[in-house]
């Protein structure tokens, strides 16, 4: 734990200029441009201010300001979504993190799901105590997003329909089939329900597993949605998959080309 120490008049003026000229985070490149100094000199300044307790290092070359009321520099991230946008762009917040934002779940997740075009070596980084789960996607699949402001930074988050489709494509983004099904149920009962858009997104994603899981869940949870169920049936691809890859297969549902785990052998009670 380090306490803040004083800054000279010139340093205070420089730091104030940088804070005014940046949004939520400070990079070496931004500081260099604002102060019209070499990047190496800007890096030394930021490092010195960090030692004095005025900044906190997020990662190499990136810092955040320490609030004046803070008693320590060992502070958690004020807004992990902002850091995700700065570190992993082009990207968006998705999976269970987006589901929380859209009130599709009451479950509290401590890990932030980020869908990014980047190919990071570490897909489960921990930054200032905050865990991130990174999934790489192609730039052509960056669609179905909403832009929101977090402080001074605009962040992209998957809209409710895209959130559901992403979780059906990769169940770990929703915490497994049980949680994903609960979120889907909440989606079907919410004002965000838009099944034509859901089908459109599934077609654009072009992932065969999505329609198998989507059709199966619709038939069990919302059997009255005949149009969406028929659309899912007509889009089925060949081959068989597990309802949840993390669970052992028990019984094959040939209609949807799905292997069910034993815990899902009996019919799900309709909730919609």
Task: Please check whether residues 92 and 144 belong to one and the same domain.
Answer: yes
Alpha-carbon gap, residue 199 to 197, rounded angstroms: 5
Q: Is residue 1 classed as helix, strand or coil in its secondary structure?
A: coil
Structure tokens at 1: 């734990």
- Assess contact for 157 and 93: CB atoms under 8 A: yes
Task: Please check whether residues 93 and 49 belong to one and the same domain.
Answer: no
Is residue 74 included in any domain, yes or no?
no
For residue 7, what pLDDT is reported? 79
For residue 151, what pLDDT is reported? 86
Is residue 173 included in any domain, yes or no?
yes
Structure tokens at 135: 């999934």
For residue 111, what pLDDT is reported? 97
Task: Please check whether residues 31 and 118 belong to one and the same domain.
Answer: no
Q: What is the CATH number for 38?
A: 1.10.10.10
Beta-carbon contacts of residue 174 (< 8 Å; ≥ 6 apart): 95, 96, 99, 167, 180, 183
What pTM, to 2 d.p., does this model score? 0.86
Q: Is residue 272 classed as helix, strand or coil in its secondary structure?
A: coil
Is residue 110 included in any domain, yes or no?
yes
Task: Please check whether residues 33 and 114 belong to one and the same domain.
Answer: no
Task: Please check whether residues 144 and 16 belong to one and the same domain.
Answer: no
For residue 265, what pLDDT is reported? 63
Alpha-carbon gap, residue 216 to 171, rounded angstroms: 15
Task: Please check whether residues 166 and 255 belong to one and the same domain.
Answer: yes
Task: Please check whether residues 99 and 37 belong to one and the same domain.
Answer: no
pLDDT tens for the chain, residues 1 to 272: 455 567 788 988 999 999 899 888 899 999 999 999 999 999 999 999 988 888 888 888 999 888 765 555 555 678 999 999 999 999 999 999 999 999 999 999 999 999 999 999 999 999 988 999 999 999 999 999 999 999 889 999 999 999 999 999 999 999 999 999 999 999 999 999 999 999 999 999 999 999 999 999 999 999 999 999 999 999 999 999 999 999 888 899 999 999 999 887 654 444 43
For residue 268, what pLDDT is reported? 47
For residue 44, what pLDDT is reported? 94
Task: Please check whether residues 53 and 85 belong to one and the same domain.
Answer: no
For residue 271, what pLDDT is reported? 41
Task: Please check whether residues 20 and 122 belong to one and the same domain.
Answer: no
Domain boundaries, position 219:
80-264
Is residue 75 included in any domain, yes or no?
no
For residue 4, what pLDDT is reported? 54
* Closest alpha carbon to 244 in 179, 157, 153: 179
Task: Please check whether residues 14 and 128 belong to one and the same domain.
Answer: no
Structure tokens at 70: 């803070």
Alpha-carbon gap, residue 243 to 240, rounded angstroms: 9
Is residue 22 included in any domain, yes or no?
yes
User: Would the CA dihedral through 213, 219, 222, 224 be positive or negative?
Assistant: positive
- Alpha helix ranges (H) inside 102-207: 160-169, 177-188, 195-205
Is residue 208 included in any domain, yes or no?
yes
Is residue 270 included in any domain, yes or no?
no
Task: Please check whether residues 212 and 122 belong to one and the same domain.
Answer: yes
Task: Please check whether residues 130 and 59 belong to one and the same domain.
Answer: no
């Amino acid at each position: 734990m380090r306490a803040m120490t004083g800054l000279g008049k010139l340093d205070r003026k420089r730091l104030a200029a940088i804070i005014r000229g940046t949004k939520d985070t400070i990079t070496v490149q931004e500081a260099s441009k604002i102060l019209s100094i070499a990047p190496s000199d800007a890096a030394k300044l930021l490092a010195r201010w960090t030692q004095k307790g005025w900044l906190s290092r997020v990662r190499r070359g990136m810092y955040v300001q320490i609030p004046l009321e803070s008693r320590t520099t060992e502070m958690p991230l004020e807004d992990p979504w902002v850091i995700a946008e700065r570190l992993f762009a082009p990207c968006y917040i998705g999976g269970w993190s987006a589901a929380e934002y859209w009130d599709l779940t009451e479950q509290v997740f401590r890990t932030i799901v980020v869908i990014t075009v980047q190919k990071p070596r570490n897909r489960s980084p921990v930054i200032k105590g905050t865990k991130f789960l990174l999934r790489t996607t192609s730039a052509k699949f960056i669609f179905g997003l909403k832009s929101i402001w977090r402080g001074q930074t605009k962040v992209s988050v998957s809209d409710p329909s895209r959130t559901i489709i992403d979780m059906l494509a990769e169940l770990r983004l929703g915490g497994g089939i049980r949680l994903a099904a609960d979120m889907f149920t909440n989606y079907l009962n919410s004002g965000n329900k838009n099944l034509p858009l859901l089908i459109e997104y599934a077609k654009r994603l072009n992932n065969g597993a999505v329609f198998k899981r989507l059709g199966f869940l619709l038939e069990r949870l919302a059997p009255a949605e005949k149009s969406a169920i028929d659309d899912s049936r007509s889009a089925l691809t060949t081959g068989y998959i597990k309802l949840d890859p993390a669970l052992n297969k028990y019984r094959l549902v040939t209609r949807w080309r799905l292997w069910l785990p034993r815990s899902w052998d009996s019919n799900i009670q309709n909730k919609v």
